Amino acid sequence: MPGVVRLSVRNIRKSFGTHEVLRGISLDAQDGDVISLLGASGSGKSTFLRCINLLETATDGEIWVDGEQIRMVHKAGKTKPASQKQVDHIRSELGMVFQSFNLWSHMTILQNVIEGPVHVLKRPRAECIAEAEVLLEKVGIADKRHAYPALLSGGQQQRAAIARSLAMKPKVMLFDEPTSALDPELVGEVLRVMRSLAEEGMTMLVVTHEMSFARNVSNRVVFMREGLIESSGPPQEMFGSGASPAFRQFIGHFGAPA
Ligand code: ADP
Ligand code: MG
């Protein structure tokens, strides 16, 4: 449903001790938006994603997922989520794919994919297996369903991790440098899966250094610098004459994007 706001972040801040890593970030993702989050190492991109899915607790600000605000309590100078039940619910609505695949090594690929739907969502196992098979087909590794992660290439493991996230039917997918740990020849197969997800209308927030993805797949580019959004806009503007000097300098390090 285009127009529906799936994720809304209002002025979030995050400090580690005296170091303020996020200094007031606001961002809305509507249904089907694919937002590339770019920025130098240390600019706060991972912390931002981790605050959204509550792996970290923002020190201040508001986060809304699919119209529901994450409730926080402020006590003795600390901020934490008010309800673990809500945290679990919000997490089930947000898929997260990390740089380092994070599959369970003692489970086959199929077991990895059905684990969440069966044990967290308590859905019937046979139904979850049938859906998992479809997802594995979609990411191109159906033939690996009974293999253990260690037997797969990095690109196959990352595609399995994407399938595992999708099995929870998330409202928004968060990706934190999903291709940064891969050998260059395996990057394309993961980007293709992400591109087809985007084309199907998945709402995605993607931290990446893949300028071709940012330029050709996302419909918005957000450039973070030192814990703030320095500039943002459609890729045509950001990669065209509308770029800020800081963003221009940043992309200069990557050469001309394809
Ligand atoms: P990016 O993903 O853009 O490279 P990060 O969000 O990982 O940036 O980190 C932003 C800043 O926050 C860095 O200076 C980093 O050292 C600091 N930081 C991140 N996580 C922690 C933590 N758990 N404790 C203390 N400092 C942290
Ligand atoms: Mg990071």
Read off the pTM: 0.95
171-217 tens-digit pLDDT: 999 999 999 999 999 999 999 999 999 999 999 999 999 999 999 99
In angstroms, what is the span from residue 72 Cα to ligand 2's centroid? 25
- Tell me which residue range forms the domain holding 158: 5-253
CA-CA distance, 142 to 240, in Å (whole number)?
A: 40
pLDDT, mean of residues 124-135? 98
Q: Would you say residue 184 lies in a domain?
A: yes
70-114 tens-digit pLDDT: 999 988 888 899 999 999 999 999 999 999 988 999 999 999 999
In angstroms, what is the span from residue 241 Cα to ligand 1's centroid? 31
Across 203-232, b (16+ Cβ under 10 Å) vs e yields bbbbbbbbbebbbebbebbbbbbebebbbb
17-75 tens-digit pLDDT: 999 999 999 999 999 999 999 999 999 999 999 999 999 999 999 999 999 999 999 88
CA-CA distance, 166 to 96, in Å (whole number)?
A: 9
Name the residue type at position 122. K
Q: Would you say residue 21 lies in a domain?
A: yes
Q: Would you say residue 210 lies in a domain?
A: yes
Q: Would you say residue 258 lies in a domain?
A: no
- Here the CATH number for the domain that contains residue 223 is 3.40.50.300
Q: Would you say residue 15 lies in a domain?
A: yes
Ligand 1, residue 40: give the atom nearest the CA.
Answer: 3
In angstroms, what is the span from residue 43 Cα to ligand 1's centroid? 8
Q: Would you say residue 48 lies in a domain?
A: yes
Nearest alpha carbon, ligand 1 atom 11? 42
Q: Would you say residue 20 lies in a domain?
A: yes
Nearest alpha carbon, ligand 1 atom 15? 42
Number of domains in the chain: 1
Closest ligand to the CA of 19: 1
CA-CA distance, 25 to 44, in Å (whole number)?
A: 10
- The DSSP code sequence of 102-133 is ---TTS-HHHHHHHIIIIIS---HHHHHHHHH
